[in-house]
Structure 1
Amino acid sequence: MPNTQKETNVIIEDGAKVGENCTFGHNVVIHKCVIIGNDVTIGDNSVLGKEPFAASTSATTSIGELGPLSIGNGTTIGASCVIYKGAALGEKCFVGDLATIREKTRIGDRTIVGKGATVENGTEVGKRVKIETGAYVTAFSTIEDYCFIAPEVTFTNDNYLGRTEERKKHFKGPTLKRGARIGANATLLPGVVIGEDAVVAAGSVVTKDLEPRKIYAGIPARYIREVPKEQLIEEQEYFDNRE
């Protein structure tokens, strides 16, 4: 750990691997089977590599062998975050204070997970995604590159609302195609597919698949109009199709 700065009461278990030029705040816990790249910052009271616990009635958490938690170069993790064993974060990600990222989740380069957001297990998140404050991404969701998820958005994955054994065969979170954008407080029902560059207005409830490059609003969400050309992802200065 050359040039790594540690504050008081930092615990790094045997077996953890830490790169160069990292900074750890007070009371950070790094469990074994954690791999941290170079130039990583971890805020006070955060826990990396936590083993998942399963409630006796849990239908989406399976306790089994997990690989290491990996944190890419240049990533910043805020205070009081919990990131589970078996997750993977790419390079130059940002995780806000109080966020939780569960096991078997993959997060691409330069993605932001906002303050207090939760990304549940088995979720795939692409590069340059923004998941804002307080958003809830349920287990088994897919979020492709360049998507935007506003504060307090809720993903769901269980059409049976916890009843019957049949539900266990059908768990599936929403899928957001590249560049899709979801407004504040919207709710996405299980398994819906939001088309590439589609927009869901604030407060909407999405009950069925949405077509690409269209704007939807309401309960249930209905077509409003086309997305303006200047808002499409390929028109943005930060978009790079070569990545």
Structure 2
Amino acid sequence: MIHNLSDVQSNNIGEGTNIWQFCVVLPQAVIGVDCNICSHCLIENDVKIGNQVTIKSGVQIWDGIEIEDKVFIGPNVTFTNDKSPRSKEYPEVFLKTVIKSNASIGANATILPGITIGEYAMVGAGAIVTKDVKPHTTVVGNPAKEINK
């Protein structure tokens, strides 16, 4: 289901995926099956989203970001793709950020560019992730640090 108040330009969207109102999906984005893209999201061109991914409201997925299967992205999570942004100056290639399968990112977390978040990792709400997150770990804080569960 693609809501009629969204602007979805991609034809690379899997069966059973829902894209809600006020979303923009650019033409070369790839989105898997059975995903839920909530309202007010933007998905750029050089983006790959796996199967059964949930992206809550207010998230922008910029060029260079890959999200594997069964990932949860909480509301207003902020991704970045340029370590030294300047107006009207773009890198030749954006840094690649990968969110591995079954990871979860809490509301309002910020993910700096070039980061890999491992399988089954948990990023706490509001965390600022400045370096890779190991699989099966939980990180919280600013900067995000691993905690024991």
User: Does the pair score TM above 0.5?
Assistant: yes
Which of 178, 181, 195 pairs up with 2:118?
195
1:145-175, Cα deviation, whole Å (9 max, x unpaired): 000000000111000112796x613412421
Matches of 1:127 and 1:175, distance apart in 2: 15
1:102 CA drift (Å): 1.2
2:5 is aligned with 1:80: yes
What is the percentage of aligned positions where both structures have the same residue?
35
The alignment's TM-score, normalised by the length of structure 2, stands at: 0.94
Which of 5, 17, 22 pairs up with 1:93?
17
Which protein has the larger Cα radius of gyration, Structure 1 or Structure 2?
A: 1
- Which protein is richer in helix relative to its size? 1
Please give the root-mean-square deviation of Cα atoms over the aligned residues, in Å: 1.6
Query: What one-letter code is carried by the residue in structure 1 that aligns with 2:39?
Result: K
Instruction: Give the gaps of 5 or more residues in structure 1.
Output: 1-75, 227-243
Tell me the number of residue pairs that the alignment of Structure 1 and Structure 2 aligns. Answer: 149
Residue in 2 aligned with 1:212?
135
1:176-231, Cα deviation, whole Å (9 max, x unpaired): 000010000001000100000000000011010010000000011000125xxxxx
2:85 is aligned with 1:171: no
Residue in 1 aligned with 2:37?
113
Matches of 2:69 and 2:128, distance apart in 1: 22
Instruction: Give the gaps of 5 or more residues in structure 2.
Output: none
Counterparts in 2 of 1:151-162, with a 5 A limit?
Answer: 151-162=75-86
| Cα 1:133/1:164, change in 2 over 3 Å | closer
Matches of 1:157 and 1:79, distance apart in 2: 29
Counterpart secondary structure, 1:142: strand
| Cα 1:78/1:206, change in 2 over 3 Å | same
Residue range with higher mean Cα deviation, 131-140 or 212-221: 131-140
Q: Which has the higher contact order (CA 8 A, sep 6+)?
A: 2
Instruction: State whether residues 155 and 173 of structure 1, in contact with CA within 8 Å, keep that contact through their aligned partners in structure 2.
Output: no
Matches of 1:196 and 1:113, distance apart in 2: 21
Query: What one-letter code is carried by the residue in structure 2 that aligns with 1:193?
Result: T
1:79 CA drift (Å): 3.2
Matches of 2:25 and 2:85, distance apart in 1: 23
